[in-house]
Structure 1
Amino acid sequence: MRVLHVNKFLYRRGGAEGYLLDLADLQRSAGDEVAFFGMTHPDNDNSLPYAGHFPPYVELEPPPRGLAPRIAAAGRMIWSPASRRGLAQVIADFAPDVIHLHNIYHQLSPSVLAAARSAGVPCVLTMHDYKLACPSYQLLDQGKVCQACVSGGPLHAARRRCKDGSVSASTLLAVETWMHRQLRSYDPVGVFVSPSRFLADVMARAGVYPDRIQVINHFVDTAGIAVKSQAGGGVLFAGRISPEKGVDVLIEAVAALPADVAIDVAGDGPALPAVRALAERVVPGRVRFHGRVDKSRLQELTRAAAVVAVPSRWHENQPMAVLEAFACGVPVVGTDLGGLPELITAGVDGEVVPADDPAALGAALGKLVADADRAYAMGRAARDRIDRDFPPELHLTRLRDAYLAAARVVPAGGRR
């Protein structure tokens, strides 16, 4: 099978990109031919044969300076002729059997779906966040959990100024989502893949093609992942350092832990300077920041930890941080939002605590660090669950079924 993956970023930026690249490797190992389409970016892999067809790089967080660049960026969010034209050229050359889309919002826009429709290629879209139900994609209103747009429609985002309290930014996102719904821009997608039951329920309540949603968990290939070999260690956070990830809550929780417990933070993101400053102010010298690390180094840091913290204050979908910790044989303490409670079985492979509660987080982490043997046993249970419920072979089988299902609902005018 010839699979064309489409995502705005084509480097290991976060969980969505990690899943995309790991899936492509898995498909290649199963005999599929794989190609990529995305946005031009300085961090992209140099070995992307279709990079010449990618639309130009644009940074939207923060938005570009100047009125003209901002207007151009806003127009691109609604519809990107360069993205449609570029993908059409790649389709003509690569001739995919299916197009598997991921995060196409803003920098690519659903204009890429118009190219797929014209070529009659079946489309599957994995939903890594809540963008199709929530204009700001995180189910957050200025940092607070919110689902107003799920039941009330996307224009609530403008009324509530949910994007950083900004009228203009919130209105742009609201209008973008409203227009795409009015134009039925996502009609060419035959199957919407939801990694978690929570996200699937949100999309169904928002009326996002409920008859086309399939819940397909992510996967972890444990063949090359060593398991933690001895009890003990400290606390690790791994992921994008942004406000919704709650790393600041973890820093506040560190004060409740013994002074000799190692706290490691692996990742990068817009909140890193603020988090560093908070750590120096609240727990000086106790947090080690590693920046963005490659997969092998991340696994080393994970195995050295007694527990991984996922202190998110937003509705996580199915974070790879949890699955990768489990694969290394390390339990997870996560919050009670989104798909996290679907992954963590309290008292078996981790603990679930209220979001935005440093005291509860610190208490749960402290118990596992203090009882290294219990934490080690929970990590073993976590690895067993990964081997049982998230094997790559099962994921490939279910994904192939989704590809076949998408081929049966190619919109009128496309090939069948």
Structure 2
Amino acid sequence: MRVLHVNKFLYRRGGAESYMLDLAERQRARGDEVAFYAMTHPENDPAAYAARFPAHLEMNPLPPGVTGKISGAGRMLWSTSARRGLAQVIADFRPDVAHAHNIYHQLSPSVLAALRAAGVPVVMTLHDYKLACPSYSFLDQGRICTACVGGGFRQAVRRRCKGGSLAASAAVAVESWAHRRLGAYNPVGVFVCPSRFLTMKLIDAGVYPDRLTVLDHFVAPGPAPVDPVPGRLVVAGRLSHEKGVDLAIRALPVLPPGTRLDIAGDGPERAALTALAEATAPGQVTFHGRLPKAGVLELMNSAAALLLPSRWYENQPMTILEAFACGTPVIGANLGGIPELITDGVTGRLVQPDSPTALAEAAAPFLLSAQARDIYGKAARDVATTRFAPDTHLAALDAIYASAGNRLSEERREPRAD
């Protein structure tokens, strides 16, 4: 099978890219031919079709100046360069199926039009809430908000939920409205939702309810177990407000003496978090920056627990699956898709969101008792090797690819209005 993965970034920037790259590696290992299409970026992995990628463009915030903002907004709506480049890749690679991921903004759904014109079945894994929320995350000024689900995309403008900017909020609202109105995502045969929570939010928003299917991500077997480093807790992810990394730092003063927090990741809040750590828990926090996957797994494998104190509706965070594969319990906020992964009192703990005290109370037993860490960790590893086994995921995904192909064949036999 020839599989074309389409995503705006081609490096391990976040969970979406990690999933895509790990999936492609598995597909290649079993004999599939795999190619990628993305935006040009200085951190991209080498790619056969890199010369066909559209130019690099930062969109958060929009480019400066009137001309830059108009150009950026136009590309968000419909990128002719992305469609043109992808058409050339399709002609050369001749994919049997295209697997889309995060294509918003820099690529735009113009790439889906190129795939439909070439008769290529499309499956799209949804890694966030973009199709129901113009700003991706169901957040308004850092607080959970689902106003657009029932109130329409104009709510994004009224609330200025995109960074507090009227212009940016209007741009993403118009983008979402236009794409919904014009059926820009109609070429997608199946939308893959990694969590039931995401599925229900999309159904509530009226987003292709007949094309949604739930499929867990997968995780490779973790490294061999090691004795945990005494007092180590780990956070892994983007350093931004919605991830709640500050809550983990604020929990340190009420945790047992000697507790250390290792933070893997980078992002816009790194400077502020560094200052908070120096003021709140001097000498107890290590910022590792963005690490290769092996480095993150090494930290997880030797930790008493992984902390995931998110303030937003996580979908199906790969960090939980990776921690489980390492036999490391996870303490996560009781929000979004996280409760679908953590069985409270078995593989980790679910805690009240936005509460450093609740986080500390849940983490303390794993720091004080190696036995508790081992019992929870064994249960977590068992879940990773059964529910999230790679072969199970690949078999289910093959069936989804076939379903998308069947849907396209039916549509081509009996054309219908979008």
TM tier relative to shorter chain: over 0.9
Alignment match of 2:404 (pick from 401, 406, 410): 406
- Give deviations 1:218-239, integer Å, cap 9, x for gaps: 00121x6323445854100011
Partner of 1:110: 109
Letter in 1 for 2:33: E
Alignment match of 2:388 (pick from 377, 387, 390): 390
Stretches of 4+ aligned residues off by more than 4 angstroms: 229-233, 411-416
- Give deviations 1:38-69, integer Å, cap 9, x for gaps: 000000012x0100000000011233222211
3-state secondary structure, aligned to 1:408: helix
Partner of 2:41: 41
Letter in 2 for 1:330: T
Partner of 2:24: 24
User: Which aligned pairs between 1:234-313 and structure 2 lie closer than 5 A?
Assistant: 234-313=232-311
Partner of 1:219: 218
Decide whether the 8 Å contact of 2:202 with 2:209 is kept in 1. Answer: yes
Distance apart, 1:259 and its partner CA? 3.1
RMSD: 1.5
Distance apart, 1:413 and its partner CA? 5.2
- Give deviations 1:359-414, integer Å, cap 9, x for gaps: 11111112221122101210111000111101011100110111011012228459
Letter in 2 for 1:409: R
Partner of 2:49: 50
Partner of 2:145: 146
Moved more, 311-320 or 162-171: 162-171
Structure 1: tracts of 5 or more residues without a match: none
Partner of 1:320: 318
Moved more, 262-271 or 368-377: 368-377
User: Which aligned pairs between 1:137-176 and structure 2 lie closer than 5 A?
Assistant: 137-176=136-175
Decide whether the 8 Å contact of 2:228 with 2:303 is kept in 1. Answer: no
> Which structure has more RCO (C-alpha within 8 Å, separation ≥ 6)?
1
- Distance between the aligned counterparts of 2:160 and 2:207, measured in 1? 23
- Distance between the aligned counterparts of 1:182 and 1:188, measured in 2? 14
3-state secondary structure, aligned to 1:258: coil
Letter in 2 for 1:14: G
Decide whether the 8 Å contact of 1:308 with 1:333 is kept in 2. Answer: yes
Partner of 1:60: 59
Partner of 1:7: 7
Distance apart, 1:151 and its partner CA? 2.0
3-state secondary structure, aligned to 1:364: helix
- Give deviations 1:251-308, integer Å, cap 9, x for gaps: 1111211231121001111111111111111111210111111111111111111000
Partner of 2:87: 88
- Distance between the aligned counterparts of 2:24 and 2:384, measured in 1? 20
- Distance between the aligned counterparts of 1:366 and 1:63, measured in 2? 43
Partner of 2:78: 79
Rate the CA distance shift 1:45–1:414 in 2: closer, same or farther, 3 A: farther
Decide whether the 8 Å contact of 1:255 with 1:283 is kept in 2. Answer: yes
Letter in 2 for 1:108: L
Please report the TM-score for the alignment, with normalisation by the length of structure 1.
Answer: 0.97
- Distance between the aligned counterparts of 1:35 and 1:72, measured in 2? 28
Please report the TM-score for the alignment, with normalisation by the length of structure 2.
Answer: 0.96
3-state secondary structure, aligned to 1:120: coil
Rate the CA distance shift 1:228–1:343 in 2: closer, same or farther, 3 A: farther
3-state secondary structure, aligned to 2:254: coil
Rate the CA distance shift 1:238–1:415 in 2: closer, same or farther, 3 A: farther
- Distance between the aligned counterparts of 2:131 and 2:355, measured in 1? 29
- Give deviations 1:300-333, integer Å, cap 9, x for gaps: 1111110000010000000000000000000000
Partner of 2:343: 345
Distance apart, 1:149 and its partner CA? 1.0
Rate the CA distance shift 1:258–1:88 in 2: closer, same or farther, 3 A: same
Letter in 2 for 1:198: F
Partner of 2:208: 209
Identity rate, percent: 57
- Give deviations 1:156-178, integer Å, cap 9, x for gaps: 11111111221111111111000
Moved more, 299-308 or 364-373: 364-373
- Distance between the aligned counterparts of 2:224 and 2:83, measured in 1? 43
- Distance between the aligned counterparts of 2:397 and 2:223, measured in 1? 23
Decide whether the 8 Å contact of 2:244 with 2:354 is kept in 1. Answer: yes
Decide whether the 8 Å contact of 2:256 with 2:367 is kept in 1. Answer: no
Letter in 1 for 2:307: A
- Distance between the aligned counterparts of 1:30 and 1:2, measured in 2? 12
Structure 2: tracts of 5 or more residues without a match: none
3-state secondary structure, aligned to 2:407: coil
- Give deviations 1:205-224, integer Å, cap 9, x for gaps: 111101100100000121x6
Letter in 2 for 1:18: S
